[in-house]
């Protein structure tokens, strides 16, 4: 882990309550992957969830700690969230 990500991780843990589960969008996955820091998600949060649509859009194999869960209510789903 880089010094930047270690500092980010330490600062985040001391200033913000940490949710048990997050739902990741494509932008988050792409940006962290490009800087080789995708594992920050697993270090910060207990559960990372995304949809099959987001996983397809990401275009890479996601780590096993990312759960891919279908959307249960398509009326509430938006790609702009």
Whether residue 65 is predicted with pLDDT greater than 60 in this model: the reply is yes
Whether residue 78 is predicted with pLDDT greater than 80 in this model: the reply is no
Nearest to 58 by CA among 50, 47, 46: 50
**For residues 35 and 64, what is the distance between their CA atoms, to the nearest angstrom?**
19
Region for 9 from its dihedrals, namely left if φ exceeds 0, alpha if ψ lies in -120 to 50, beta otherwise: alpha
Q: Is the dihedral of CA 37, 39, 41, 44 positive or negative?
A: negative
Whether residue 8 is predicted with pLDDT greater than 60 in this model: the reply is no
Q: Tokens 């932008």 map to which residue?
A: 27
What's the pLDDT band for 46 if we cut at 50, 70, 90?
confident
pTM score of the predicted model: 0.65
Give the per-residue pLDDT at 81.
Answer: 41
């Amino acid at each position: 882990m880089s010094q930047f990500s270690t500092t980010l991780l330490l600062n985040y843990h001391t200033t913000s309550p940490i949710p048990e589960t997050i739902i990741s969008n494509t932008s988050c996955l792409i940006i962290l992957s490009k800087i080789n820091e995708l594992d920050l998600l697993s270090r910060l949060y207990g559960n990372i969830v995304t949809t099959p649509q987001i996983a397809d859009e990401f275009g890479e194999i996601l780590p096993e700690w990312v759960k891919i869960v279908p959307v249960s209510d398509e009326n509430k789903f938006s790609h702009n969230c």
